Structure 1
Amino acid sequence: MRFSKRLTLLASSALVAGGIGFFSFKTDDRFFEIARNLDIYATLFKELNLYYVDEVNPNRMVKTSIDAMLKALDPYTNFFAEDEIEDYMTMTTGRYNGIGALIGQRQGKSIVLMVYEGTPAEKSGLQIGDEVLKVDGVDLKTRKDRDGGPLDPGKLLKGQNNTAVKLTVSRYGQKAPLELSVIRDVVKMTNVPYYGMVSDEVGYIDLKDFTATASREVRTAYQELKGKGMKKLILDVRENPGGLLNMAIDISNIFIPKDSEVVTTKGKVTEWNKTYTAMNPPLDLDIPIVVLTNSHSASAAEIVSGVIQDYDRGVLIGQRTYGKGLVQTTRELSFNTKLKITTAKYYIPSGRCIQAIDYSHRNADGSVGKIPDSLKTAFKTKAGRVVYDGGGVLPDIVVEAQTPSPVALSLTNKGLIFDYAVKYRHEHASIKPAREFRLTDAEYTEFAKWLGDKEYDYTTQVEKDLGTLEASAKKEKYFDQIQDQLKSLKTKMSHSKDADLNTFKPELKTLLEQEIAGHYYLQKGIKEASFATDPEMKAALDLFKDMNRYGTILKGK
């Protein structure tokens, strides 16, 4: 978790007082071991530079070695080289000087994946799906960076405010490339990309980050929704990786009394240990709240979720959160480089630490999986409900995460859902509002036909399991006895693309509708198009229709 400037200064003074970071408990032997190994490293690097057969890039070599060293500690202690400081500042502030477009690599092409609302990119007419060919005349396909790799168009697009950048783009349906002139400006990546009323009484706030303006954005969204008649609130922290600690404290403070404990940090340097409390009067102590979480809700998002749960202030719905209960402090290094270092663990009001017991081994989706009961400790919320530590925050109502079908994964990963949305956008000048937009059956049939000559093969889990069974049977000499049955099973379970397009039609239609809505209405369109089929959203709205059940959950009955 990233500290605010005030907290970083606190950390700095404590470190200086400790004696250049080694502290009193270090011995002369430890000083010697550090000096000895640094000398070995310097000598080794000198020999590599002098005698290695190819030219050695010092910056890249040192960065690689530092990253490898830090990887042995935890995933959150990171080194930022001088040329990465701008990215670091964007990460902490949410601001950068540029045009406001997300550009990614697809099959060797630089494709506009998202245009952010109100930015220079949107004002210039840049569209999702455009291929960026040149930036200020620099050909992105032929020019390489200094290490010989492909150019990062994002770096070329950043620059001083009020300066123009000339883009040459290829657009679907246009024979000749287009020339666009975009005036750079300060781009603010919002922490709350969407908020609105999802019913007459229920307001919704989508909180996606915790940069320096997160609290202000949530407060503004809350007050506007109250003005529209909001009587119940859904706060969505799914896919939120966390951010600044003080933002987590301030956002929690919106819903809990002043002076309430929010989080306590404890680490090796006892002078840095501190309990943080709500500093301001709350906005609302009574409004019913549902917080939506998933396995990618991490760090500051887990503090807010945990505080709401520990004070029985609202009901959590979704999946267990990520399990990152570690605090990071930023340290200034020489030559304008930085070290983000894990310095403490944090504990939420019930006393539990949500840090996963083993942060190095996770499920494929990033979740911590099932924690053995023997490794968990019970704690109690303010109302006496039992909650546990050991790996994230477990919601009060668990909604199983949806597993995408193999055909959906393949179409998404191959970019075919995206490509069809680009085609659809070109062929339809407008669509209904995102909440109302639906593809007709005839349009879905057209999509299936369009896929006819596209490559998107895949292997289902059943086919993988049959392959494993066959390999095991051969290894253990049972294959001859069961090969006929295996052959029959393979024939029956072999997937058909056409059949899968029909079987998984509801899922694929939903993906298409959300993608297409995004091409017309950007981030807000994607969000509003998801409301009708979002299982966590449905569970929240169902709960708000049964306030007796809501109250029973908070009482632990």
Structure 2
Amino acid sequence: MKLRKKIILGASALLVAGGLTAYKQDDRFFEIARNLDIYATMFKELNMYYVDEVNPNRMVKTSIDAMLKSLDPYTNFYAEDDIEDYMTMTTGRYNGIGAMIGSRQDKSIVMMLYEGTPAEKSGLQIGDEIVKIDGVDIKARRDVDPSKLLRGQTGTAVKLTVKRFGQKDPIDVSVMRDVVKMTNVPYHGMLNDEVGYIDLKDFMAAAGREVRAAYQDLKGKGMKKLVLDLRENPGGLLDQAIDISNIFIPRGSEVVTTKGKVTEWNKSYAALSPALDTDMPVIVLTNNHSASAAEIVSGVIQDYDRGVLIGQRTYGKGLVQTTRPLSFGTRMKITTAKYYIPSGRCIQAIDYSHRNADGSAGKIADSLRTAFKTKAGRPVFDGGGVTPDIEIEAVTPTPLAQSLTSKGLIFDYAVKYHHDHPTIKPAREFRLTDAEYQDFVKWAGDKEYDYTTQVEKDLGTLEASAKKEKYFDQIQDQLKALKSKMSHSKDADMKTFQAEIRTLLEGEIASQYYFQKGLKESSFGTDPDLKAALKLFGDMARYEKILKGK
């Protein structure tokens, strides 16, 4: 009898719980319908009575963006006009000319040319200022995006009117549009006789195929150790992260697991193909801008003790997005799950579901991070990105370098140098002479740029605090003397920070002749993360100890 009573009570509880769930679901649907009705009514009244004309598309897009902004940065709406950009982002292909256009002081400047594209073949040059596109004066048309005017059907020509350094009058350059393929691997090569290097900058379609091809090419050149550079890689497609991980781990090994609200979508992904190499020593370079798919690959390498990570802690994006089609050709990219790498950790660093009182999303405190273990038993932690095995302090540009770069003076001098020097040595060998550096200092002397050093900022804060707390009169003479002593001199700083400025100049100049490859190869001699990687590869006993957790 007691058992029967318990069963009846239990069944009643389930029915009540089921009823409550259904009630909550119906209640939520009612709230959605009610608010949509309010929104539609408000929009109708606004359109009818507002003093000025209302642009419906712009108004709705603004309201949608504001709504999604309250969730996380990765849930986005793509209007019909933005679909082409979305497809470029995922496939890496578009119909255009293959030039990166930047805005500087209301000028549209060619900042980079991609090798082998119509832009390079046409004779367009880095530093050219585009003033007209097919006769359209782009300065006079503020409503026009120059980059979109450059895109168009394959096989059609676009005429650019450009101002070029060293030429008095504008010139016309005709470029035949074609399919431009943005590469995921802008550079790969040998660092020395046995160490290969692959620079992976994106996880768009075909990223896995490109990395495999680069790997095989380097293996054919004698590669015995590999540096995989994932710095500044924002991530991309999940399937490409799985494919690239599969290069280094055996078939059947778990790569990533996704878990979200829709339990039917929860899935575990494993390596599907035979690995290319499970033994070759690997070092992965990461920094604070390595995110998402880049963190999956670096996390997999670390969790299986397959290689050593060097650099800075990664960004901490452990969220998965799914694209959903909407009406009238629009789309939404929505965060649907969190991902977990083989050790079981989720590296999501920011809690978007529980915001601070001011509405900002808070970082997960280090004290709340949970420890997990790699295959060899090394401790690793969740909730804050992937922490490298060897941490290298990030290089912070000096105020002088930041000012020269932001004002475009490094870029402008490189354009001038390219005009004055038809050829230079290969990027790895190219170095400015002392006389050439002094020429830059002299050239920059009458240019408009200034900066405030951190010491000057701190002295300003000290002075403000002294005035607020009534101590200023007592220390103003000392403050004045200290400010005078610490006040920066551009000429003196150009000498003090010569090594940093020269490195920036050499990289920018090399890119004028050799494009992205030149910029990369020019950095090999000064890159602290790369130096640390080569040093570790020179001490394989230490490499093995790190992987064993000793």
**CA RMSD between the two structures:** 1.6
* Per-residue deviation, 1:53: 2.3
Partner letter of residue 185 of structure 1? D
Matches within 5 A, 1:31-42: 31-42=29-40
Higher RCO structure (Cα 8 Å, ≥6 apart): 1
Counterpart check, 1:101 vs 2:94: no
SS at structure 2 position matched to 1:242 = coil
Higher deviation after alignment, 228-237 or 32-41 = 32-41
* Per-residue deviation, 1:213: 0.6
| Match among 114, 135, 146 for residue 137 of structure 1 | 135
The residue that corresponds to 2:387 in the other structure is 394
The residue that corresponds to 1:351 in the other structure is 344
* Per-residue deviation, 1:125: 0.6
Deviation by residue 1:136-182 (Cα, 9 ceiling, x = unmatched): 1111111232xxxxx21110010101111111111000112111111
* Per-residue deviation, 1:358: 3.5
Using structure 2 for the length normalisation, give the TM-score. 0.93
The residue that corresponds to 1:47 in the other structure is 45
Cα distance, 1:360–1:164 mapped onto 2, change above 3 Å: farther
| Match among 486, 495, 517 for residue 502 of structure 1 | 495
| Match among 119, 122, 130 for residue 120 of structure 2 | 122
* Per-residue deviation, 1:296: 0.2
Counterpart check, 1:302 vs 2:295: yes
* Per-residue deviation, 1:42: 1.5
Cα distance, 1:240–1:553 mapped onto 2, change above 3 Å: same
The residue that corresponds to 2:75 in the other structure is 77
Unaligned runs of 5+ in 2: 1-20, 356-360
The residue that corresponds to 2:17 in the other structure is none
The residue that corresponds to 1:171 in the other structure is 164
Higher deviation after alignment, 49-58 or 343-352 = 49-58
Using structure 1 for the length normalisation, give the TM-score. 0.92
Maintained 8 Å contact 2:351/2:362: no
The residue that corresponds to 1:426 in the other structure is 419
The residue that corresponds to 1:243 in the other structure is 236
SS at structure 2 position matched to 1:531 = coil
Partner letter of residue 35 of structure 1? A
The residue that corresponds to 2:178 in the other structure is 185
* Per-residue deviation, 1:292: 0.2
The residue that corresponds to 1:3 in the other structure is none
Maintained 8 Å contact 2:349/2:363: no
Counterparts of 1:25 and 1:536, CA distance in 2: 57
| Match among 224, 228, 231 for residue 224 of structure 2 | 231
| Match among 256, 259, 269 for residue 262 of structure 2 | 269
Counterpart check, 1:60 vs 2:53: no
Unaligned runs of 5+ in 1: 1-22, 146-150, 363-367
| Match among 517, 522, 528 for residue 529 of structure 1 | 522
Counterparts of 1:537 and 1:176, CA distance in 2: 44
Counterparts of 1:373 and 1:196, CA distance in 2: 38
Deviation by residue 1:189-231 (Cα, 9 ceiling, x = unmatched): 0000000001000000000000111000000000000000000
Counterparts of 1:211 and 1:26, CA distance in 2: 40
Counterparts of 2:363 and 2:34, CA distance in 1: 43
Counterparts of 1:122 and 1:24, CA distance in 2: 62
Partner letter of residue 172 of structure 2? E
The residue that corresponds to 1:322 in the other structure is 315
Matches within 5 A, 1:375-390: 375-390=368-383
The residue that corresponds to 2:4 in the other structure is none
The residue that corresponds to 2:16 in the other structure is none
* Per-residue deviation, 1:426: 0.3
* Per-residue deviation, 1:97: 0.3
SS at structure 2 position matched to 1:387 = strand
| Match among 303, 316, 324 for residue 331 of structure 1 | 324
Counterparts of 2:344 and 2:378, CA distance in 1: 13
Counterparts of 1:420 and 1:174, CA distance in 2: 16
Greater radius of gyration (CA): 2
SS at structure 2 position matched to 1:282 = coil
| Match among 245, 248, 260 for residue 253 of structure 2 | 260
* Per-residue deviation, 1:361: 12
Counterparts of 2:368 and 2:544, CA distance in 1: 30
The residue that corresponds to 1:17 in the other structure is none
The residue that corresponds to 2:540 in the other structure is 547
Counterparts of 1:69 and 1:473, CA distance in 2: 45
SS at structure 2 position matched to 1:533 = coil
Matches within 5 A, 1:429-440: 429-440=422-433
* Per-residue deviation, 1:127: 0.6
Cα distance, 1:217–1:132 mapped onto 2, change above 3 Å: same
Counterparts of 2:23 and 2:537, CA distance in 1: 55
Counterparts of 1:324 and 1:126, CA distance in 2: 38
Maintained 8 Å contact 2:351/2:363: no
Counterparts of 1:229 and 1:361, CA distance in 2: 51
Counterparts of 1:369 and 1:400, CA distance in 2: 24
* Per-residue deviation, 1:306: 0.1
